[in-house]
Amino acid sequence: MPTVTQVAITLENKPGALHRVCAALAQAKVNITAVFVPEVKEKGKVRLVVEDLDRARDALRAARIRFSEEEALVFSAEHRPGALAEITEKLAQAKVNIKYAYATTIPGQAHATVIMAVSNIEKALAAIGR
């Protein structure tokens, strides 16, 4: 199971905040492959997975957008009832905390893509067996 480096940006919950980030990346021709935007009252941490991390770093720095980087798991899970329950059970048994997760699938597809931040990546990898 591979890991992915996410770009994390704290944004105010106001019109145009996310656009500023997306526009900076678009101008640099950086493709966003996953995005997590939480619902918050004032400020929240937006997380992005991009195809070209180096170019994204340069674009965000040029736009004076502060960011950090976070490692997360990225894996494919069967698109069926109980698949995520099986994975989370293994993590719970291994005492690995799930900080957050997001996933998507396309109707009719056999697998979902899951991005998950955990307290211990190595332990999670061993528990899930990927």
Query: Do 79 and 109 touch, CB atoms closer than 8 A?
Result: yes
pLDDT digits (tens, 9 = 90+) for 52-75: 999 999 999 999 999 999 999 998
* Helix boundaries (H) for 63-103: 83-93
Q: Which CATH number fits domain 3-70: 3.30.2130.10, 3.30.465.10, 1.20.140.160, 3.40.190.10?
A: 3.30.2130.10
Range(s) for CATH 3.30.2130.10 in the chain? 3-70, 71-128
How far apart (Å, rounded) are the C-alpha atoms in residues 58 and 29?
11
The two structure tokens encoding residue 49 = 């997975």
What is residue 130's predicted lDDT score, i.e. its pLDDT?
65
pLDDT digits (tens, 9 = 90+) for 13-42: 889 999 999 999 999 999 999 999 988 888
Q: Could you tell me the CA-to-CA distances from 16 to 19, 54, 95, 96, 124 in Å, in that order?
A: 5, 24, 40, 36, 37
Q: Structurally, what CATH architecture does the domain formed by 71-128 represent?
A: 2-Layer Sandwich (3.30)
Backbone angles phi, psi at 48, to 5 degrees: -130, 140
The two structure tokens encoding residue 112 = 């979902």
User: How does residue 1 score in pLDDT terms, banded at 50, 70 and 90?
Assistant: low
| Beta-bridge partners for 116 | 73, 101
pLDDT digits (tens, 9 = 90+) for 73-99: 998 898 889 999 999 999 999 999 999
How far apart (Å, rounded) are the C-alpha atoms in residues 74 and 123?
15
Query: Do 124 and 94 touch, CB atoms closer than 8 A?
Result: yes
Locus of tokens 């494919």: 76
Q: Could you tell me the CA-to-CA distances from 78 to 2, 108, 126 in Å, in that order?
A: 16, 12, 19
How far apart (Å, rounded) are the C-alpha atoms in residues 9 and 68?
7
Locus of tokens 């996953």: 34
Q: Across all residues in the chain, what is the average pLDDT?
A: 93
* Range picked from 32-41, 47-56, 107-116 for highest mean pLDDT: 47-56
